[in-house]
Homo-oligomer: A and B are copies of this chain.
């Protein structure tokens, strides 16, 4: 697979110096040569092939082809809502959920999630998602939401009708029944009884992931994999 870079908006067709970050990575890390092809994608289904014409230090000139629109092609839109784990474990969610095909990533603050959600890292998460999409071949980026309180999430009127909340001992999560589903998990200590009730009252069905106590990032990813099984 050609190297893929997130560039939004895509440059117009023709001879271009590629954007600085892209140029730098291509010149210094990938060490491209004239004639190599790379793919630029805008995260909204647009892709363009760029053929490297010249490498001047850290600047890469390329002949950019016309933009083509790639079908969204997500058989199931899987949204993931989760209490943020600490540090790199949070980034791991954004990276790997993008790979497996999640369409929305919603950090959620809960009673037991402490202040972890208080430091949103939107720019960093966007970069992680963009890099993961480039790596795995996605033309569409998942939507990254700002952290919000659980109550705010539960009150939204734009959530999928098919919605699940992780709950130890509940029936096992299976493949999505409809074209749009949401899976909510974390924090490590679980939701409070009141939060669990609020989620059920908001139409979230309790589902489990087996006998083990999974870390939040593992439960997020396992849920996405199961909802998308067979697609």
Contacts and interface: CB of A to CB of B under 8 A. Distances in A.
Interface of A: 1, 73, 88, 92, 96, 99-101, 135-138, 172, 174, 210-215, 217-218, 221-222, 225-226, 228-231
Contact of A137 (B174, B212, B226, B229): B212
B135 A213 contact: yes
A228 B213 contact: no
B135 A99 contact: no
Q: Which 9 A-B pairs have the closest CB atoms?
A: A136-B212, A222-B225, A225-B225, A136-B213, A137-B213, A99-B218, A96-B218, A99-B214, A172-B230
Contact of A211 (B96, B137, B211, B217): B137
Contact of A101 (B73, B138, B212, B217): B212
A214 B136 contact: yes
Contacts of A231: 172, 210
B99 A230 contact: no
A100 B222 CA distance: 8
6 contacts: A99-B215, A100-B212, A135-B213, A137-B213, A172-B229, A221-B222
A150 B222 CA distance: 27
Given A100-B222, A218-B96, A228 B212 contact: no
A212 B222 CA distance: 16
Contacts of A92: 92
